[in-house]
Amino acid sequence: MRVRDLMSKKLITLNSGISLSDAARIFFEKNIDGAPVVDDEGVLIGLLTKTHLIQAIARQEDIMALRVCDVMTTDVFTLKDSMLVPELQQNNLIFKYGRFPVVNPQNKPIGFVTRTDLVRYLSEKSVFMAEEFEAVLNSASNGVMAVNSAGIVTLFNPAAQAITGMKAENVIGRSVVDVMPDPQGFMSVLQTGKAQLNQKIQFGSSQIITRRSPIIKNNKIVGGVAIFQDVTELQKIASELEEVKDLKSILDSIVNSIFDCIVVVDKNGFVTMMNDAYGEFLHIDPKKAIGRHITDVIENTRMHIVAQTGKAEICDMQKIGEHNTVVTRIPIVKDGEVTGAVGKMVFRDVKDLRVLARKLTSLQSELEYYKEELQKVQGGKYTIDSIIGSGEKIQWLKMIALRAAKGKSTVLITGESGTGKELFAQAIHYASSRRHGPFIKINCASIPENLLESELFGYEDGAFTGARKGGKPGKFELANGGTILLDEIGDMSMPMQAKLLRVLQEREVERVGGTKTTPVDVRVIAATNQDLEAMMGQGTFRQDLFYRLNIIALHIPPLRERREDMTELCEALLRKINRNLQFDVDRVSPAALELLMDYDWPGNVRELENVLERSVNLMDDVGEIQPEHLPPTLRRSGGRTEPANQKTAQELAGIMEDAEKQAIYKALEAAGGNRSQAAKILGIHRSGFYQKLSKYQIKL
């Protein structure tokens, strides 16, 4: 047996740079006592065991600050996988170490053997050999009797009992003179040390053929052994030989019925078997190929080389006649020695391989398609192509988003409410290499301050009253390997900003109520409708966090600044509304489109979608949206033409503002202070209503 047969392949390696606490956690989780330490190239550079961990603790060192390289041993005794186990017994170093990494020629770990494994193997091998020897003797069809140097019987197997009719318990311990006929013949073997072959003796009514040989140890005769057999058993053996011949004939028939071309050679490269399929392919009689050298039978063959080197050649190209075949050559190994080789033609022509490759490519394409569709269902639905607009501003932003997707840097998306910040975030995610990972989003403004930390970073079991049993992972852990969108980042409190900054810098999170950190590989995209630079000046947003977030900045323009995209947006939104509400509205009429173009859209694209959906619900059977279907606020806008007299315009603006404030107060009074209800009474979007509250400094 070689080391590769004894070693465990469930190998866990450690990087020298990881912390000692992480290594201890791996030991605990994987239930191992030690592990090889490798460098960044996977080459063995040391060994870390539980003893090293215990010694570090005993020295009262700070294991949280230590790395594996600080305590590991570089004095490692390694094994090659091709070494024979008996060779290990001759090396005293096996008694010095408890664990032996097995390495390949590049000194990279591929498994390990422990001293316990070696001792267990040797012990089991000894017991197995004893049991095997006893089983062989007990199952042998020949009778076996052994005596010591004084001629006392020490062994009498079941076959000997069956042939002689005597019980072992009645024979063992007695002199051979009292047990077997022709005793002097056996005693002569013990005296002279010369074997007696094929001796015929009469035992009762049976004739027995026996062979008697001395047992010599250290040039001294210590006993003898007799092997005998009833002549009638020879007939049984002859019958069994006929059965073996029949079995060989059946196996030959099976091999010849196989469509694959198969040939076998001995260690010198001479053909010992060739099936009919190969003979048909070569246009020869396969029986006439047997006994000939393989190079005289198959052109460009390497079977004889494989039989000599013992190195397999898998799916190798071979030119045979007009065919470019694909063949595999495998050495035949018996008792660690190469005795020949078997060859199989995998493809009779490379054209068959190309057909199969095209099928596999087609299946791979289908698989990728379904994976992409599955990702859209699981994590989001927006890609770069989902962003509507052919105007210069939006096209430039789409180009920047695609470039941002290629990297891993943090992205800050700013813009008014309803401009599509989340759409851009998802588009960046699905255009990046992380598209198969999760896309996790969280609105920092919608979660109470006391719950936001546990939502972002998770919590441990019992961290607070009402905490889920077993704890709960946070959004950062759930987004590991993917992207997290922190929406409304400007509403995050200063303490939470500090904790978020640490996560961005250290790339690790610590759960609420926990004591250990968890590394995370997450790309962060932040979004806000607030002016973070102004907030920094007011001291409500951390400057260091802003610079950490503002590596790649995207400012999504409001709808009033990209009116050239209005037609495309209306068409896309109408398709979505028709699909959801099962309507069939063709388009927006030119007159209605002119009103939409003249409106300032404080709620941006989201408000546009709401206006279109409202209009569709108010329509009868008209195939296009007319001005009368639009909300009154849009119909009263009267265009954006500038009056000739600037003073008159200012007076008119003041009158409109006063009227607007009065309308807001009345709506709030009617809604009992409910801002959402007040926005509905006024017929405007909630975000636009909030902006007006802020504009007129109306506080509830």
Residue 93 above 70 pLDDT? Answer: no
Burial class, 244, CB count within 10 angstroms (exposed 0-12 / middle 13-18 / buried 19+):
exposed
Residues 528-554 have a mean pLDDT of 91
Measured CA distances, 41 to 12, 15, 38, 109 (Å) = 15, 10, 7, 11
- Domain membership of residue 131 (yes or no) is no
Task: Put the strands of the sheet holding 196-203 in their side by side order.
Answer: 153-156, 143-148, 220-230, 206-217, 196-203
- Domain membership of residue 293 (yes or no) is yes
- pLDDT-based confidence at 183, cuts 50/70/90? low
Domain termination residue (choose one: 557, 585, 600): 557
Closest CA to 48 of 65, 29, 64, 32: 32
- pLDDT-based confidence at 425, cuts 50/70/90? very high
pLDDT in tens, 337-365: 999 999 988 888 877 777 777 777 777 76
Residues 393 and 517 in one domain: yes
Domain termination residue (choose one: 230, 259, 278): 230
Residues 402 and 525 in one domain: yes
Residue 484 above 90 pLDDT? Answer: yes
Lowest mean pLDDT among 319-323, 413-417, 647-651: 647-651
pLDDT of residue 6: 77
Residue 20 above 90 pLDDT? Answer: no
Percent of the chain with pLDDT over 90: 19
- Domain membership of residue 365 (yes or no) is no
- pLDDT-based confidence at 489, cuts 50/70/90? very high
Residue 647 above 60 pLDDT? Answer: no
Pick the residue with more confidence: 1 or 376?
1
Pick the residue with more confidence: 589 or 10?
589
Residues 572 and 610 in one domain: yes
pLDDT of residue 645: 42
Residues 83-112 have a mean pLDDT of 74
Residue 248 above 90 pLDDT? Answer: no
Residues 194-208 have a mean pLDDT of 76
Q: The CATH number of the domain where 336 resides is what?
A: 3.30.450.20
Domain termination residue (choose one: 84, 119, 154): 119
Counting Cα atoms < 13 Å in the Cβ hemisphere of 540 gives 11
Residue 378 above 60 pLDDT? Answer: no
- Domain membership of residue 423 (yes or no) is yes
What helix, strand, coil percent values describe the chain, rounded to 5? 45, 20, 30
User: What is the rounded CA–CA span in Å between residue 403 and residue 411?
Assistant: 11
Residue 486 above 90 pLDDT? Answer: yes
Residues 220 and 285 in one domain: no
- pLDDT-based confidence at 640, cuts 50/70/90? very low
pLDDT of residue 410: 93
Residues 541 and 670 in one domain: no
- Domain membership of residue 684 (yes or no) is yes
- The DSSP code for 154 is E
- pLDDT-based confidence at 646, cuts 50/70/90? very low
pLDDT of residue 671: 81
Residues 565 and 595 in one domain: yes
pLDDT of residue 136: 78
pLDDT of residue 428: 92
pLDDT in tens, 605-618: 998 999 998 888 87
- Domain membership of residue 360 (yes or no) is no
* Assigned token pair, 226: 């007799």
Q: In angstroms, how far is CA 16 from the centroid of its own chain? A: 23
Q: Phi and psi (nearest 5°) for 110?
A: -125, -5
Residue 90 above 80 pLDDT? Answer: no
User: What is the rounded CA–CA span in Å between residue 571 and residue 573?
Assistant: 6
* Assigned token pair, 615: 């209009």
Query: Do residues 238 and 256 lie in contact, with contact meaning Cβ atoms separated by under 8 Å?
Result: no
pLDDT of residue 368: 64
* Assigned token pair, 180: 């077997």
Residues 463 and 518 in one domain: yes
Residue 698 above 90 pLDDT? Answer: no
Residues 401 and 547 in one domain: yes
Domain that holds residue 504: 380-557
Residues 297 and 438 in one domain: no
Residues 672 and 630 in one domain: no
pLDDT in tens, 440-481: 999 988 888 778 888 888 888 877 766 677 788 889 988 999
Residue 92 above 70 pLDDT? Answer: no
Q: The CATH number of the domain where 89 resides is what?
A: 3.10.580.10
pLDDT in tens, 549-587: 999 999 999 999 989 999 999 988 888 888 887 787 878
Residue 265 above 90 pLDDT? Answer: yes
Residues 325 and 388 in one domain: no
| Structural domains counted in the chain | 6
- The DSSP code for 75 is -
Q: Please give the full DSSP string across 242-307, using - where no structure is assigned.
A: HHHHHHHHHHHHHHHH-SSEEEEEETTSBEEEE-HHHHHHHTS-HHHHTTSBGGGTSTT--HHHHH
pLDDT of residue 483: 92
Give the length of the chain: 700
What value does the CA radius of gyration of the chain take, rounded to a whole number of Å? 44
Residue 507 above 60 pLDDT? Answer: yes
pLDDT in tens, 164-182: 888 888 888 888 888 777 7
pLDDT of residue 171: 86
Residue 642 above 50 pLDDT? Answer: no
User: What is the rounded CA–CA span in Å between residue 214 and residue 357?
Assistant: 66
> Sign of torsion, CA 165 167 173 178?
negative
Q: Phi and psi (nearest 5°) for 224?
A: -155, 165
* Assigned token pair, 300: 């460009």
- Domain membership of residue 401 (yes or no) is yes
Q: Which residues of 72-82 are buried (b: 16+ CB within 10 A; e: fewer)?
A: beeebeebebe
* Assigned token pair, 277: 């399929």
pLDDT in tens, 289-310: 899 999 999 999 999 999 999 9
Mean predicted lDDT score pLDDT of the chain: 82
Residues 552 and 566 in one domain: no
User: What is the rounded CA–CA span in Å between residue 203 and residue 226?
Assistant: 14
Residues 74-96 have a mean pLDDT of 71
- pLDDT-based confidence at 12, cuts 50/70/90? confident
Residues 495-515 have a mean pLDDT of 89
Percent of the chain with pLDDT over 70: 89
- Domain membership of residue 570 (yes or no) is yes
Q: The CATH number of the domain where 441 resides is what?
A: 3.40.50.300
Residues 645-672 have a mean pLDDT of 67
Residue 133 above 60 pLDDT? Answer: yes
Residue 376 above 60 pLDDT? Answer: no
